[in-house]
Amino acid sequence: MRLVTYEIEHKSGLGVISRDGRWIYPLASLDMDYKTMQDLIENISDSEKQLLEYASGQDPYKIRGAAPIDEVRLQAPIPYPRQDVICLGINYMAHAEESARYKKEEFGGERPYAIYFSKRVNKATAPGEGIPSHKNIVNDLDYEAELAVIIGKRAANVPAEEVRDHIFGYTIINDVSARTLQTQHKQWYFGKSLDGFLPMGPCISTVDELAYPPHVQVQSRVNGELRQDSNTELLIFDIDHIVSELSQGMTLQPGTIIATGTPAGVGMGFNPPKFLKPGDVVECTIEGIGTIANQVVD
């Protein structure tokens, strides 16, 4: 099933998307009183999950408060993440190569260890919401379409073969990046964490919605031009490895967001680079989840 945070008639709530993708059924109409997605992730029961799965297949006219999906305003599924987002750097080999070219570095073709960094998020950017250009300090704004994993239950010292049991679901993020800020400070935190740099959505697809491990197509388009087109099958470090390794000594709490890295085709990978400018529209699409589109604004 696919879960959303949405707004209609100036009221926000949680909903489940109908199986045909055309309707949103409010959880409140199913007697689920979760106020936020974080609350739901931490507390939802197996029986409630079964009810939501059943309800998503029902006739919309039998669900009180059902609304056509094109008449609601989708928010980021987790608008205010409880912690910084954990990100994977250079987790597709082709992206590792283009990154090395941009930095004029030698690339030996080996990645023995995963690269982790964090991304501060005061508020996640909703589908359709603007990405601020921060043009006073940024002149090389870039996009990165990524599959994000959302932890569903406390994960500490989890073996790789048990990782799936700790995952709640998946969403799409655009790991917007300011390349000069990212590199000149010799670490990535500032250049990845400016306000508005985490478009997220349009929903959370629960772990059972996709085959495991998810081998899904990851794409981005800028003004309709296909830029990134790859598959999570090509991750250097897969989800089992990532979650298991991070959980060795670092407890992952429910609602933790882990961005698994971006494939080749980002702006800095072109010669000359194709960085974003105000007015550009970035679409990030992942098979089985959907698409988020955001315009760069002044």
Q: What is the CATH number of the domain that holds 193?
A: 3.90.850.10
Residue 246 and residue 117 in one domain:
yes
- Residue at 65 is within a domain: yes
Same domain for 62 and 194, yes or no, is no
The model's pLDDT over 102-148, given as tens digits with 9 standing for 90+, comes to 666 766 667 789 999 999 999 999 999 999 999 999 999 999 999 99
Per the structure, how many domains does the chain have? 2
DSSP for 100-137 reads HHHHT----S---S-EEEEE--SSPBPTT--EE--TTT
25 and 141 assigned to the same domain = no
Work out the pLDDT band at 98, boundaries 50, 70, 90: confident
265 and 140 in a common domain = yes
Residue that finishes a domain, picked among 41, 72, 103? 72
Query: Domain ends where: 18, 44, 72?
Result: 72
Query: Do the domain assignments include residue 33?
Result: yes
Quick one: tokens of 169? 């679901």
* Size of the chain, expressed as the number of residues it contains: 298
Same domain, 34 and 135: no
Non-local (6+) Cβ contacts of 118 within 8 A are: 84, 85, 86, 87, 189
Tell me, yes or no, whether 45 and 102 share the same domain.
no
Residue 78 lies in a domain: no
pLDDT at residue 111 in the model: 76
In a domain, 27, yes or no: yes
Residues 222 and 94 placed together within one structural domain of the fold: yes
Which residues are 86's β-sheet partners? 118, 258
In contact, 124 and 130? CB cutoff 8 Å: no
Q: Assess whether 134 and 10 both reside in one domain.
A: no
Check pLDDT > 70 for residue 270. yes
Would residue 77 count as lying in a domain?
A: no
User: Do residues 65 and 87 share a domain?
Assistant: no
Domain that residue 12 falls in: 1-72
Nearest to 43 by CA among 152, 193, 128, 177: 152
One domain, residues 34 and 64: yes
Residue 50 neighbours by CB under 8 Å, 6+ apart: none
Q: Residue 38 domain-assigned?
A: yes
Last residue of a domain, one of 17, 45, 72: 72
In the prediction, which pLDDT does 67 show?
A: 97
Residue 256 lies in a domain: yes
Q: What is the dihedral of CA 67, 71, 76, 79, to 10 degrees?
A: -80
- Residue 185 forms part of a structural domain: yes
In this prediction, residue 186 carries a pLDDT of: 85
Stretch among 12-16, 44-48, 180-184, 214-218 having the lowest mean pLDDT:
180-184
Burial class (CB in 10 A: 0-12, 13-18, 19+), 148: buried
**249 and 192 co-located in one domain:** yes
Q: Are residues 187 and 50 part of one domain? A: no
pTM assigned to the model:
0.95
